[in-house]
């Protein structure tokens, strides 16, 4: 119902806006109201346009803060973004495929993602970057290494809170597991990891990065039947990206080493020493 009373003075209106913003928790409008009011006056905005600008600024800042909160909650060990990935140095990785993955439809469908390749080929960068992109699209993401996840599950089982822990990992939209297949797991650890994967199967996505092809996972999951079941969980309807065998880090390190200047030919009259075929030396 419209309020029927005489117009407020500017001072009273400012006080009313301040009070209303506190009650409605509109922190951005409260902090920027005066600046936006002045900008609207300079631009000669209508009342409707000014109201729209205020509300849009509140929505934009809230969305940015939510994105930042989701990014922190994901637990990434370091910031990595797709814009920083050198596709020219990693020709095995299809940039168009990665761009499609960044849109997040595979997460909405609950499909897995497997990044397979040797060390230094960009698997972890892509895993973190795609996970970070997912947080910016509103998905709840959690990152952990395989070893850390298994250790947490073992501790939870010992403390009788395993069901709660598995449920917590089951709720996030995308679970990113790095260093998958690096270490041999005992049967108990492998079974606990399998429970997490089963909890998420065809409901929420799992993305893994591994330096072992699927055939090499038998070294990590020593029970053949359990290994086959885990491979099945992670490959059904999955996107599988092979990042190659040539280490980008090693290639970059080699390219940064300064070239040694070649020795100049000896000047005329300067003695030089040759190694004789018999292992001795002779001077000319």
Please state, as a whole number, how many other Cβ atoms lie within 10 Å of the Cβ of residue 13: 12
pLDDT of residue 215: 86
CB 115 within 8 A of CB 127: yes
Q: Write down the pLDDT at residue 254.
A: 57
pLDDT at residue number 6? 67
Residue with tokens 């501790």: 155
Q: What is the pLDDT of residue 108?
A: 96
What pLDDT was estimated at residue 284? 40
Determine the pLDDT at residue 4: 56
Pick the closest to residue 243 from 205, 206, 207, 209 (CA basis).
209
pLDDT given at position 273: 40
The per-residue pLDDT for 246 is: 74
pLDDT of residue 263: 54
Rounded to two decimals, the pTM is 0.78
pLDDT of residue 264: 53
Average pLDDT per 10 consecutive residues for the chain, totaling 284 residues: 67 87 89 88 89 91 94 96 92 95 97 94 96 97 96 95 94 96 86 93 93 88 90 94 77 59 51 40 41
Would you state the pLDDT for residue 228? 92
Quickly list DSSP for 109-170.
Answer: TT--EEEEE-TTSSHHHHHHHHHHHHHHTT--EEEEEHHHHHHHHHHHHHTT-HHHHHHHHH
């Amino acid at each position: 119902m419209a309020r029927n009373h005489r117009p407020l003075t500017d001072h009273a209106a400012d006080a009313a806006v301040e009070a209303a913003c506190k009650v409605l928790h509109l922190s951005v409008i409260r902090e920027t109201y005066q600046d936006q009011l002045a900008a609207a006056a300079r631009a000669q905005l209508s009342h409707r346009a000014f109201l729209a600008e205020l509300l849009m600024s509140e929505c934009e800042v809230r969305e940015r803060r939510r994105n930042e909160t989701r990014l922190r909650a994901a637990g990434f060990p370091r910031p990595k973004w797709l814009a920083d990935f050198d596709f020219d140095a990693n020709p095995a990785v299809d940039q168009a495929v990665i761009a499609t993955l960044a849109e997040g439809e595979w997460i909405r469908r609950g499909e897995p993602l497997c990044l397979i390749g040797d060390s230094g080929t960009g698997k972890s960068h892509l895993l973190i970057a795609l996970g970070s992109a997912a947080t910016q699209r509103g998905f709840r993401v959690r990152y952990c290494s395989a070893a850390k996840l298994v250790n947490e599950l073992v501790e939870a089982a010992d403390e009788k809170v395993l069901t709660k822990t598995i449920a917590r990992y089951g709720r996030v939209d995308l679970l990113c597991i790095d260093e998958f297949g690096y270490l041999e797991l005992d049967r108990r650890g492998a079974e606990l990891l399998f429970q997490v994967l089963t909890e998420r199967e065809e409901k929420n996505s799992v993305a893994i990065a591994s330096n072992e092809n699927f055939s090499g996972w038998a070294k990590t999951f020593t029970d053949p039947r359990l290994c086959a079941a885990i491979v099945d969980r992670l490959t059904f309807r999955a996107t599988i990206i092979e990042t190659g065998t040539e280490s980008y880090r090693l290639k970059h390190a080699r390219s940064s080493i300064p070239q040694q200047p070649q020795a100049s030919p000896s000047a005329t009259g300067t003695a030089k020493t040759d190694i004789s075929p018999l292992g001795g030396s002779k001077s000319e």
